[in-house]
Amino acid sequence: MATVKLALNDLIANLQQVPPADLLGVTLLEQYEAAPGEWVPRSVPRDQVVKATLQLVEYGSKCRQLANNIAKLQATPIEKSVAEYGL
């Protein structure tokens, strides 16, 4: 039976493959340019800002939860040849 090893670097590389989340805040930054001398765009409609903020807060919370879960992840030796099983 083949031995499959998943090292920390592999895990990091796999996580880096995850495509960027589709976040309204990032889209708004692309769509609305900041006025000269400003860092943030001021012309974004308020409802869009509220929606984007709530989405970002939820996203941040999920990311923190995921980071905590990964930090507590225990090494699990497996003998299966299917690498995805370990994930």
Q: Tell me if 41 sits within 8 A of 35, measured CB to CB.
A: yes
Helix spans in the chain (H):
8-16, 24-31, 46-71, 83-86
Q: Is 13 near another protein (CB under 8 A)? A: no
CA distance 74 to 27: 37
Q: Is 37 near another protein (CB under 8 A)? A: yes
CA distance 84 to 86: 5
Q: Is 25 near another protein (CB under 8 A)? A: yes
Which residue from 4, 6, 11, 49 is in contact with another protein, where contact means CB under 8 A?
Answer: 49
Which residue from 6, 29, 83, 86 is in contact with another protein, where contact means CB under 8 A?
Answer: 29
Question: For binding to another protein (CB under 8 A), which residues are involved?
Answer: 20-21, 23, 25-26, 28-30, 33-34, 36-40, 42, 46, 49-50, 52-54, 56-57, 60
